[in-house]
Amino acid sequence: MDAHEGSDEDGLITLEEWAAQCGYTYSYVLHAMRQHYPDFPEPEQRRRGDVGRGGGSGNNLYDPAKLERFKPRRPDPVELPEEDLVKQVTLGGFAALIGVNGRAVNQIKDQRPDTLPDTVDGQRWYPRAKYHVRDLLLMWNSRPGKGSGSDKRRPPLPWQRQDTDSHQ
């Protein structure tokens, strides 16, 4: 039997596939979540090689509905019309554009300046700096939600990756 054979059958999913969908590492789900959450669900169907202590459990099949409450909590994403994505705005202008209090965006600048994208002139933040709306929107929609440790669950932001082209 292939390791992932039947993972689509009956709507079940492997823990490894679920971890990838949520932005968790498989190792974190397998070792930390299963150990520290006593109510973490057991697999619906065990696969060959599972010894009950982690070995082979990446191939076990789980009910995604039972895993739902363990997904990272993130705010709902904001969507903007295509014509707004090419605008250049200050942080306050971005807050007005998405309809939130300016303090909500400035709080990110003050508490997590590493998550701010570069300004339109390629600098880090400075007073009255302008940003591309598309970059700020991506940052805003990638911010962590409420909950302890949620920053660690977030994958690297696109502008933090070395292998991506800038603004295609």
Is 56 a member of any domain? yes
Q: Select from 115, 109, 103 the least CA-distant residue to 154.
A: 115
Q: Which of the listed residues 27, 46, 70 is the one where a domain comes to its end? A: 70
Question: In the prediction, which pLDDT does 158 show?
Answer: 54
pTM score of the predicted model = 0.49
Task: Assess whether 153 and 105 both reside in one domain.
Answer: yes
CATH of the domain at 122: 1.10.10
Q: Select from 24, 26, 2, 1 the least CA-distant residue to 15.
A: 26
Specify whether the CB–CB gap between 74 and 145 falls below 8 A: yes
Task: Assess whether 104 and 153 both reside in one domain.
Answer: yes
Token look-up 């993972």 returns 7
The pLDDT tens digits for 48-76 are 665 555 445 557 889 999 998 888 766 66
**What phi, psi does 5 have (nearest 5°)?**
-60, 130
Question: In the prediction, which pLDDT does 147 show?
Answer: 43
d(CA 53, CA 43): 13
Question: In the prediction, which pLDDT does 168 show?
Answer: 43
Task: Assess whether 108 and 62 both reside in one domain.
Answer: no
Task: Assess whether 108 and 138 both reside in one domain.
Answer: yes
Q: Which of the listed residues 70, 96, 123 is the one where a domain comes to its end? A: 70
> β-strand 131-132 against 61-62: which pairing, if any?
unpaired
Is 168 a member of any domain? no
Per the structure, the complete domain to which residue 51 belongs is given by 9-70
Per the structure, how many domains does the chain have? Answer: 2
Is 1 a member of any domain? no
168 residues of the chain, pLDDT tens digit each: 344 444 456 789 988 888 888 877 888 788 778 777 788 898 898 876 655 554 455 578 899 999 988 887 666 678 888 899 999 999 999 999 999 999 988 888 888 788 889 999 999 888 999 999 999 988 888 776 554 344 444 455 555 555 444 444
Question: In the prediction, which pLDDT does 52 show?
Answer: 56
d(CA 151, CA 16): 20
Q: Which of the listed residues 20, 37, 70 is the one where a domain comes to its end? A: 70
d(CA 115, CA 153): 14
Task: Assess whether 128 and 94 both reside in one domain.
Answer: yes
Task: Assess whether 58 and 100 both reside in one domain.
Answer: no
